[in-house]
Amino acid sequence: MNFKELDQMVGWEQDLDNIDWKSMLKDIDRALMDNLAAELGFRTYEQLEQASERIVQDYYIVYLSDGRYVWWNPVRYAKEDPLYFANKEEVEQYIASLLKLDNEKRAQLQVGLARIPRMKRCAVCEYEFNPTDPARSKWDSKEEQHEFCSAECAMEHVMAEMKEDFTG
């Protein structure tokens, strides 16, 4: 081994020592959460989290626009895929069995599941969104834009219609 190769190895080791591993792990965790959100049809992890109901510990349920329920866990996502259920009865049965709920707790679960709002799919960007989100009133105070997840998508739709009117 010559001195030039040795010098390059020392430089590489110094670069490795200077990596901010905490920041890198945080970026990886963020990317995983964004991937989870995208997998479930949401623009951001925050929107997925806001649209979901926490059931127990780190387990959440979300009610998608296509009528399916999804059981997911952000902590275990790298090892455990979200579970999809065709209807409320299936997800209720799964949770009741998993948590070994008695009749009283199962009744509470039924009430909780009934409160989860069904998401809608945006007509423009096709992301899932919560139509009951109070933040929507800031840009849709008359509740006329129920097909769109955001003011930007509503405006994009209007602009596309205007362009079509002009170009035929």
- State pTM to two decimals: 0.79
Q: Is residue 14 part of a domain?
A: no
pLDDT for position 144 = 82
Q: What is the pLDDT of residues 53-108, one digit of tens each?
A: 999 889 999 999 999 999 999 988 878 899 999 999 999 999 999 999 999 999 99
The token duo for 42 is 């949401």
Q: Is residue 6 part of a domain?
A: no
Q: Is residue 148 part of a domain?
A: yes
Q: Is residue 8 part of a domain?
A: no
Q: Is residue 46 part of a domain?
A: yes
Q: How many structural domains compose the chain?
A: 1
Q: Structural domain of residue 33, as residue ranges?
A: 21-167
Q: Is residue 43 part of a domain?
A: yes
- 3 state SS for the chain: CCHHHHHHHHHHHHHHHCCCHHHHHHHHHHHHHHHHHHHCCCCCHHHHHHHCEEEECCEEEEECCCCCEEEECCCCCCCCCCEEECCHHHHHHHHHHHHCCCHHHHHHHHHHHHHCCECEECCCCCCEECCCCHHHHHCCCCCCCCCCCCHHHHHHHHHHHHHHHHHC
Q: Is residue 5 part of a domain?
A: no
Q: What is the pLDDT of residues 142-157, one digit of tens each?
A: 888 889 999 999 999 9
